[in-house]
Chain A
């Protein structure tokens, strides 16, 4: 098989535009990137099969038919993209409704860990925030342990 240069160029441009949009913060733009990228990928699949007449028996002689297999794959992919578009749109709307914008925010918890790393700190005391009932006898025992081991007698 020889490559169709027109397809190759269109695939490249669609993927380039799609990826550029995908790396944005606005969810609407990300979504448009996904759609362009999806179109590019579909065309990439199509490149793998030869062109020809519609693959309908009786209408086109078999040796002139276009390859039906990539077409079946692309067809499902197109409809999946539709479902995904709907979902991302709903997500964008939800984000706008809750936050007043549709931007993909950085993860707050990850940001907190990065701050800790910059301050050269550890994750802090292991069990902060839990319900503690520290006034029972076994706990006092364990505290005494900590005290005595810290005093240097390791026994």
Chain B
């Protein structure tokens, strides 16, 4: 059974490709999957008839006790035959119903066969959780099929409505399953049924499960979604909403009926809602003018009847119920298919416009007539046999059964009446309506419906054979003293036959009455599912708006404020309340620290108060340099070096951008919010300081870095512990960091460059400056306008010296302060100096490469170093040390992590170059273009 489900899944995956290949004819191939199901089920007929279920178990999630447990008893066998047989026929029908150029056809084929697979899984699952999974899968596929045409609002709305209603029920059902499973200690239905709880616990579980079954099968008060689902294409209606999915609820009731029949709420709920649904559906069907909707309400009515019969809970009603499941699937699918044919042949389904269709297509009329006879319960059809059985079974029951019988007969009267209305509306010649033009119907289009109709007749004629097949299910109920009912066409002149005659004649009478009198009675209920549904949906929408409006205010300062206040309240509260404050502390490591600290504090406070951008920028820079000074005093020369360089590059960047921005910050007039900001700032600062104090004082363990110096020398081959940490001990960290730098550089370029073609970041120079500027070393650039000539020449002289220094830093960094970061920043500053002195011509002269190439090369070298180490049998980024002797240079101590550092160097250079090109050169170019435009405007 698992294999069959897998076949469906596989077919669903390749179906779109098949449709692209062969158009609508591919559906015949897709139909093979449900066809295989049918054949497989038929080969197991013998075993099932003798009451031997087919069992298959595959472990799935053993930790959860979840198994792919399948079990096909009589009931499942019947459903499998229907799901497979009707599925294959409807797909064959669809191959004629759709056009090959239908854009949604590939998706339809895939979802349809996936649905068939899910339905198959549902009816053969023995594990309740597995059943639930398939149950929800059918809901999802049904959603996709109802929403076949996503451009139509009605199909979107109907699809969503069906999804929400059935999912709600499904969730309730899951809760019920879990209650049962937890009690029984197993989720296998065959074991749960043996081990049911009792009392209120069982009643609640049964009610929850009923909620799922009733919503799935469109029973009151959930009926409204099924007529809405008629927005789906007709094949979908024929399969999902007549034969298969709506039967899932009926199936569940039938499956659990033998175990639950005696439970308090089971019978009353099913009988009451079923009868009500039957009447409402039948009555509404009588008033429809759309043939498809007439059938849809008819289906609602019949589902109600099925619930009543299967809910009655005796051996004979159960037999009647499964017989009716079979009959209903056959005749209702047939009728839907004929409606689809009529729709295609005439272009309408409105029975007020149809006239003379029966005369034009007699074959179609015969097929529909056979199915309709079954629906009305006329011999020798399957519908007649099933209804006889139901009437007979109820006739010999209790007083309640007799009351139910009266309801069933009343429902049958309605059924006969709307059946006649259907036949009359679809096929009759109407005197006051001109005969409609009917296109010829090809036999492959009609054949599937004909097969189903004939099957319905055959099931009636061969009633004793059907009886033998289905009886094992009915025998799950306790049999009484009498031998039990048997399905047959002719039981003699029994009271049941009399009641059947009564129902048919009553139906004919009602139909004729409504034809003449135009009865306008509307059934009004105090409680309407559709109205509740729309109220609930509107309420949820309102709640979402209120909640979103209250929490998602769209203001960045607000969000940050909330986060920071939480920081103050929670960790701050813990600090105040519970943490042990260290008693011992020292004021400073050296008195000079206080001086540097004072500089930082004053600069930071003033920066927060500054009104001019430039002032604030300088103050932030001062604070940064002060930090660098603290690093020096702490004994961290690498940090100090990097901090100095970064501060400098930052100032250059700020200057480049601030020349475009207004001089002052735009002041907001609200003082109170400013006070609030300062208050939050001070509070967060205090909490952070507290955390720094407590955390430092709490340290007792020996730092992990105590072994770093030894490891740096022995494994990393270098004496500068910080640098070896970067390129060896914590090299992964650095790898991530340089990746971030590449991303940041790309982001900067993409924010500034407006066109992809400008992204050739060497940039075009007016007058072809790049080619000319390179050979002329100490002459000024072609576009140097206002810049100082002396400055340009001096920077050119200095440039190479600075670059040389940067290379020195790069290679000495392993044993002395320096390394890839510092070296890259120094080289970047050299480029910045060139740019500041001579504009973008000078920059291009100094670095005639694309910044992207530098970044990419850096990343390539860094990753390549790591991969090379792996290829040589080491770990990613493992360092190897080589000592060898070269003539002239002497003894060489070579460490492979230098390559990694080169990668870091290139990326940092690339980043700075990218910044200069974007925030410098490109912004210049944009400014110049705008200036030219302004001047041209003035001239005009």
Contact = CB atoms under 8 A, between A and B. Distances in A.
A35 B153 contact: no
B684 interface: yes
B653 A85 contact: yes
Contact of A136 (B152, B293, B677): B152
Please name the 4 residue pairs, one residue from A and one from B, whose CB atoms are nearest each other, closest first.
A16-B685, A110-B554, A117-B549, A12-B689
Contacts of A138: 149, 152, 154-155, 230-233
B685 A13 contact: yes
Contacts of A17: 604-605, 607-608, 681, 685
Nearest to B828: A82
B597 A6 contact: yes
B287 A110 contact: no
B40 to A, nearest CB: 34
A88 to B, nearest CB: 10
Contacts of A14: 600, 604, 623, 685
Given A12-B688, A82-B911, A5 B585 contact: yes
Nearest to A100: B662
A154 B280 contact: yes
Contact of B699 (A48, A56, A104, A110): A48
A131 B630 contact: no
Contacts, number: 456
A50 to B, nearest CB: 8
A46 B155 CA distance: 63
B523 A131 contact: no
Contacts of A48: 695-696, 699
Contacts of A93: 657, 660-661, 751-752, 919, 923
A7 B153 contact: no
Interface in B720-744: 720-722, 725-726, 729-730, 733-734, 737, 740-741, 743-744
A79 B523 contact: no
Specify which of A57, A62, A101, A109 lies most central, judged by the most chain B CB atoms within 10 Å of its CB: A57
B557 interface: yes
A141 B292 contact: yes
Interface in B68-87: none
Given A4-B588, A49-B705, A127-B156, A80 B741 contact: yes
Contacts of B525: 152-154
User: What is the interface of chain A mostly: helix, strand, loop, or mixed?
Assistant: helix
Contacts of A87: 744, 747-748, 751
B741 A3 contact: no
Contact of A8 (B290, B589, B693, B703): B693
Interface of A: 1-26, 28-29, 32, 35-36, 39-40, 42-44, 46-49, 51-60, 62, 65-69, 71-76, 78-87, 89-94, 96-97, 101-104, 106-111, 113-114, 116-118, 120-123, 126-127, 130-134, 136-146, 148-155
B604 A13 contact: yes
Interface residues of B, number: 170
B681 A132 contact: no
Nearest to A150: B530
A131 B156 CA distance: 12
Interface in B225-251: 227-228, 230-233
Interface string B682-699: 101110110111011101
A109 B553 CA distance: 10
B688 to A, nearest CB: 4
A97 B657 CA distance: 11
Given A12-B689, A152-B523, A142 B231 contact: yes
Given A32-B620, A76-B734, A83-B740, A89 B601 contact: no
A71 B817 CA distance: 12
A40 to B, nearest CB: 7
A90 B918 contact: yes
Contacts of B289: 144
A142 B642 CA distance: 70
Given A132-B151, A151-B522, A111 B719 contact: no
A43 B627 contact: yes
Contacts of A20: 608, 677-678, 680-682
Specify which of B593, B643, B681, B815 lies most central, judged by the most chain A CB atoms within 10 Å of its CB: B681
Given A20-B682, A56-B816, A154-B529, 12 more contacts: A12-B692, A21-B681, A23-B560, A28-B665, A36-B608, A47-B692, A76-B726, A89-B654, A90-B748, A106-B553, A149-B528, A155-B220
Interface stretch (B424-432, B472-480, B537-545): B537-545
A39 B585 CA distance: 22
Contact of A11 (B584, B613, B688): B688
A148 to B, nearest CB: 6
Specify which of B553, B710, B926 lies most central, judged by the most chain A CB atoms within 10 Å of its CB: B553
A57 B300 CA distance: 87
Contact of A154 (B290, B530, B703): B530
B639 A78 contact: yes
B830 interface: no
Given A82-B650, A154-B528, A25 B557 contact: yes
Contacts of A79: 642, 646, 737, 741, 821, 908
B284 interface: yes
Interface in B289-319: 289-290, 292-293, 296-297, 300-301
Nearest to A12: B689
12 contacts: A6-B587, A11-B689, A20-B608, A62-B710, A69-B703, A69-B708, A111-B554, A113-B545, A123-B545, A142-B228, A144-B293, A148-B284
